Chains A and B, each alone.
Chain A
Amino acid sequence: MEEEKQIKDYIVDYLLEGGEMDAVLADWLAASEANRLQFEQYKQIWNESRLYMSPDAFDADRAWQKIQTANRRRSRWYQLGRNALWAASGVAASLLILLVLSLSGVLRRDTDWRVSMKADYGSRSEVRLPDGTFVRLNSGSDVTYHYNGKEKRREVCFQGEGFFDVAKSEEPFVIQLANGLKVRVWGTSFNLQAYENEPFVQASLVEGCIELESPSEKRLMKPGEMVSYDKNTRELKTVDGILSHSYGWLEHKLYMDDMPLSAICNYLERWYNVEITLQPGLEEKHYNGVIQEETISDVLDALSRLSDIDYHVKGKHIRITSKN
């Protein structure tokens, strides 16, 4: 034990000071192979530890922000290029084109995340948001997701029609709509129709729990419920009907449950990226049934068979008149 203590001092001195090896240490090394091996190991630890750097020396959060900034700059140029191509090719009319996710910049935790997605008229799209929420967008819709790191809130701006599969999380998921309606969501799936140019917002809850918050009242919805919000009167009202019909568009179907022709035309305009003019007086014609999406003329044929209307196509313009 006494010897070990002494040797230890010699070893540390040698490592610290370098230079000539003391005779005592040299003798100890020569005494046994085990001693020599042990000494080599200390030397190696000592030498290699020179390159040690504590993990705290590297700031991953700051680095990620720098990477974000650089990637965002890159993706903006990329997007510009895409948009130009898109416009030039003029293919926007074809249905079921999935738009490419446009990452309009994504930031992290303490700062924030932002992701936007859009489905133009005549197309559909889907996006998985950074929190895992999956959103399918019907034609003419757009969604912007923003993670508010300060308030630890998932904030969503939305316009159009979408089917949301919201990822479960303790952090609230809040959809802000025009006209003062907020939808507060916990892990759940529901359909939300909130086109800017429609007088009503309609929420159809498939499962889980959501809360609608208008300027004057709050309404907690139960699964299977459908509630509409009148943008003019700012009233919430329960809607009767078949829940699954509200998201029939996911299967390319339009369920018409006593639906006025004017509303059907709005739908078709978005789906097929066309403009429809209705002969005055036809707006309030109501239809029942289901349209399975095919071509726009297939759909119009079906509608004209169901009732006494005629249609005339001129490019992207369609005129609907009553049969004489």
Chain B
Amino acid sequence: MSNACYTDGELFDALKKGDYIGYNKLFERYYVRLCRYVYTLLENTEDAEDVVQELFLRLWKNRKQIEIRENVEGYLFRMAKHLALNELRSKPHFQELPGETEQAALSCSYEDTRVETEEFRRVLFGCMDLLPERAKEVFLLHRMKGLKQQEIAERQDISVKTIKNQIWASLQRLRKCLEQKEAWRFH
């Protein structure tokens, strides 16, 4: 019973019939992907996991009532977004949190660009997964921790020059990868 043997639709039908295996396979297929997506909205891994777990609990609890018109993937991501925004709203002072994300997500007029951004990110993250571990580390250390070049250099025990070269190489790789996957059309 390899996971790949079943389409999303088949797994979803199985889930609706109360098949716990189908449920488990959907979980395995989507859990991490959904977590990564929700992370872009909440910017906190623990919150992201909580939201996606809640999603899967609801999925099982309401399995008989769920009717989906679009595809399963679209449904899951839409549900994840909905739950993530609820989570944001439930936080005190949420406007001070990732403000741009929340505002844009809540506003209907941004809806189209949001979808494009999400699609772009999905492809970009896929490309970033392919970066060599070391290069990714350098690329992200700065992004995530806001470190200065000199600090990164000390941490990694390499020269600032090397760091710049690595970042540049990664940027080029990513741009090429995005081009191959035709992600630029989203923007």
The contact of A52 among B60, B143, B171, B175, by CB within 8 Å, is: B143
Q: Which residue of A lies closest to B173 (CB)?
A: A45
B175 touches A58 (CB 8 A): no
A8 touches B168 (CB 8 A): yes
Q: Chain A nearest CB: distance from B177 CB in Å?
A: 10
Number of interface residues of A (CB under 8 A): 43
Contact partners of A60 in chain B: CB under 8 A: 27-28, 31-32
A55 within 8 A of B: yes
The contact of B32 among A48, A58, A167, by CB within 8 Å, is: A58
Q: Which residue of A lies closest to B36 (CB)?
A: A53
B27 touches A57 (CB 8 A): no
Q: Which residue of B lies closest to A103 (CB)?
A: B20
Interface residues of B in 150-183 (CB under 8 A from A): 164, 167-168, 171, 174-175, 178
B21 touches A130 (CB 8 A): yes
B57 touches A58 (CB 8 A): no
A74 within 8 A of B: yes
B95 within 8 A of A: no
B167 touches A16 (CB 8 A): yes
Q: Chain B nearest CB: distance from A292 CB in Å?
A: 31
A64 within 8 A of B: yes
A67 touches B124 (CB 8 A): no
- With contacts A16-B167, A42-B175, A60-B31 taken as known, whether A52 is within 8 angstroms of B124 at the C-beta atoms is yes
Interface residues of A in 45-73 (CB under 8 A from B): 45-46, 48-55, 57-60, 63-64, 66-67, 70-71
Contact partners of A115 in chain B: CB under 8 A: 20
A117 within 8 A of B: no
A233 within 8 A of B: no
What residues make up the interface of B, taking CB atoms closer than 8 Å to A? 1, 18-21, 24, 27-28, 31-32, 35-36, 39-40, 43, 45, 48-49, 52-53, 56-57, 60-61, 117, 120-121, 124-125, 128-129, 136, 139-140, 142-144, 149, 164, 167-168, 171, 174-175, 178, 184, 187
| Cβ-Cβ contact count across A and B, 8 Å cutoff | 107
- With contacts A49-B143, A51-B40, A108-B24 taken as known, whether A67 is within 8 angstroms of B32 at the C-beta atoms is no
B144 touches A64 (CB 8 A): no
Main secondary structure of the interface of A (DSSP, over half): helix
Contact partners of A12 in chain B: CB under 8 A: 164, 167-168, 171
Q: Chain B nearest CB: distance from A42 CB in Å?
A: 5
The contact of A63 among B31, B60, B142, B178, by CB within 8 Å, is: B31
Q: Which residue of B lies closest to A8 (CB)?
A: B168
Contact partners of A17 in chain B: CB under 8 A: 149
A106 within 8 A of B: yes
Expressed in whole angstroms, the Cα–Cα distance for A17 and B146 within the complex equals: 10
| Pairs A–B under 8 Å by Cβ, sample size 6 | A16-B167, A38-B175, A49-B128, A55-B129, A57-B45, A67-B60
A132 within 8 A of B: yes
Contact partners of A67 in chain B: CB under 8 A: 27, 53, 56-57, 60
Of B43, B171, B184, the most chain A CB neighbours within 10 A belong to: B171
The contact of B120 among A48, A55, A66, by CB within 8 Å, is: A48
B31 touches A132 (CB 8 A): no
Q: Which residue of B lies closest to A62 (CB)?
A: B49
A89 within 8 A of B: no
Expressed in whole angstroms, the Cα–Cα distance for A233 and B150 within the complex equals: 83
Q: Chain B nearest CB: distance from A264 CB in Å?
A: 36
The contact of A46 among B19, B24, B171, B178, by CB within 8 Å, is: B171
Q: Which residue of B lies closest to A57 (CB)?
A: B45
Contact partners of A64 in chain B: CB under 8 A: 24, 27-28, 31
- With contacts A16-B142, A42-B171 taken as known, whether A53 is within 8 angstroms of B45 at the C-beta atoms is yes
B128 touches A41 (CB 8 A): no
A99 within 8 A of B: no
Expressed in whole angstroms, the Cα–Cα distance for A130 and B20 within the complex equals: 8
A9 within 8 A of B: yes
Interface residues of A in 95-136 (CB under 8 A from B): 101, 103, 106, 108, 115, 128, 130-132
Q: Which residue of A lies closest to B184 (CB)?
A: A41
B39 touches A53 (CB 8 A): yes
Contact partners of A53 in chain B: CB under 8 A: 35-36, 39, 45, 48, 125
Q: Which residue of A lies closest to B167 (CB)?
A: A12
Contact partners of B48 in chain A: CB under 8 A: 53, 58
The 5 tightest CB contacts between A and B, nearest first, are: A51-B40, A58-B35, A53-B39, A60-B31, A12-B164
A71 touches B60 (CB 8 A): yes
